[in-house]
A = this chain, B = another copy of it.
Amino acid sequence: MNDKHIDDELTDPLEPWLGYRLRRISAAAMADVGPLLAREGFTASLAAVLLMIEANPGRTQAQIGRALAIKRANIAPMIARLERDELILKESIDGRSFGLIITARGESVTKKLADVFSSHDEDLLGSLSAAERTQLRKLMEKVRHAQSGRSSSV
């Protein structure tokens, strides 16, 4: 159940496909950051939601969800959880929607989460020079914008 055997060196037919490499690198990155966030009682998605609320006070959960490509049906329980823990509160906008505001407690949690993301990103990019980081960021922005033309959730 440990799978830390040393062997193999298989040929990788998926290597030419950047989409798959993206998936693998992203999955490994999330596997790394997951336990760090879990120590704060968060998952990556929930952390993203809280950070997004903190940066955009007064928005509705539907707006936050759209910005993060999280469906209304899926963000609802996250918002409930954040409100239950008194990290955010709801201000009535009209009869059917609420503006989401971060609380003081939410602010302090936000700082911890941001630290986790920052230090993990430093690990992830540790082998890259400043110029390379800029390059990578620029290339990923290009890919992202190409995606947003066609894809449902970017």
Q: CB within 8 Å of B: which residues of A?
A: 1, 3, 5, 7-8, 10-14, 16-33, 44, 48, 51-52, 54-56, 59, 62-67, 69, 71-73, 114, 117-118, 120-121, 123-128, 132-133, 135-137, 139-140, 142-147, 150-154
Contacts and interface: CB of A to CB of B under 8 A. Distances in A.
A126 to B, nearest CB: 6
Contact of A28 (B14, B52, B66, B153): B153
Chain A interface, DSSP helix/strand/loop, else mixed? helix
Nearest to A136: B139
- Chain copies in complex: 2
A77 B27 CA distance: 21
A59 B10 CA distance: 9
A23 B44 CA distance: 10
A3 to B, nearest CB: 6
Given A22-B29, A23-B26, A32-B152, 10 more contacts: A1-B71, A3-B72, A7-B66, A10-B55, A11-B55, A18-B137, A28-B153, A31-B153, A136-B136, A139-B139
A103 to B, nearest CB: 17
Contacts of A56: 10-11
Contact of A140 (B21, B67, B142, B147): B21
